[in-house]
Amino acid sequence: MTKENPFDIRAQEYDRWYEEHLPVYESELEAIRGLLPADIPERSLEIGAGTGRFTSALGISYALDPSRKMLGMAEKSGVDRIQGVAEELPLKGSSMELVLMVASLCFADAEKALQEIYRVLAPGGELIIAFIERDSPLGKEYKKRTSKSSFYRNATFHSAGELTGRLHEHGFHGPVIRQTLFKPLPEIRSVEEPEEGFGKGSFVVIRTTSIKKESKTFFQ
């Protein structure tokens, strides 16, 4: 018997969380925006896009997610939707100029996902990964609750130091890092100003560039 995807079952609960934590959501958006190019390329993709909140707000063209229910909710945002998983992207090599992941790498096989992202990014393409820092207060709290959480039960959290090393191993260079969420979530009542680096904020954003030879494009 196939297990139901918790993100299908609780898609509305997931999306409602952002409505109930708007200053947190907007702080995360602000940190990511600071590392995005001034002009978002047309060939841009968010992996693990869920209901498309970040995809739409940040001007990303394509939203990819395994959850049919979440992608259905993303339809209203006007982004192009692709059903698929990070470990087997249904895209041709070098077909994207920008890839974004927001709080979704923890649900994927990181090694396979990074290999696939490297494959689909054009030479000089950018990868931006935003995530809950494993060693932060929020990361430790989420880790404690994994066994009881519908969403984070199978999550593997990452630290900025570890992830930067992995990215380098997979052909991504020149990391630029920002952080936000410096207080406990209930205490964040206005948009926080992101800071450079990591080690203070619970939400970290890393931008890197794919270094490889030229190749070609789009859907498989």
Give the integer Cα–Cα distance in Å for 189 and 133: 21
- Give all strands of the β-sheet with 121-132 in edge-to-edge order: 80-83, 62-65, 44-47, 96-102, 121-132, 203-210, 172-180, 195-196
CATH number of the domain to which 76 belongs:
3.40.50.150
- The count of other CB atoms within 10 Å of the CB of residue 160 is 23
Does any domain span residue 145? Answer: yes
For the chain, percent of residues with pLDDT exceeding 90: 77
Tens digit of each residue's pLDDT (9 = 90 or more) over 6-17: 666 567 887 888
Give the integer Cα–Cα distance in Å for 137 and 147: 18
- Give the confidence band of 220 by pLDDT, cuts at 50, 70, 90: low
Does any domain span residue 134? Answer: yes
Does any domain span residue 82? Answer: yes
Does any domain span residue 1? Answer: no
Query: Please, are residues 136 and 202 in contact by the beta-carbon 8 Å criterion?
Result: yes
Tell which residue, 126, 142, 151, 140, has the closest CA to residue 212: 126
Does any domain span residue 219? Answer: no
Q: Give me the mean pLDDT over the 203-214 stretch.
A: 88
Which of left, alpha, beta for 171 (phi over 0: left; psi -120 to 50: alpha)? left
Total-model pTM: 0.90
Does any domain span residue 58? Answer: yes
Tens digit of each residue's pLDDT (9 = 90 or more) over 126-153: 999 999 999 999 999 988 887 666 667 7
pLDDT at residue 2 above 50? Answer: no
**Domain tally for the chain?**
1
Domain of residue 202: give its range.
Answer: 6-210
Tell which residue, 111, 116, 97, has the closest CA to residue 45: 97
- The count of other CB atoms within 10 Å of the CB of residue 162 is 13
Identify the pLDDT of residue 12: 80
Does any domain span residue 196? Answer: yes
- Strand 96-102 and strand 121-132: the pairing is parallel
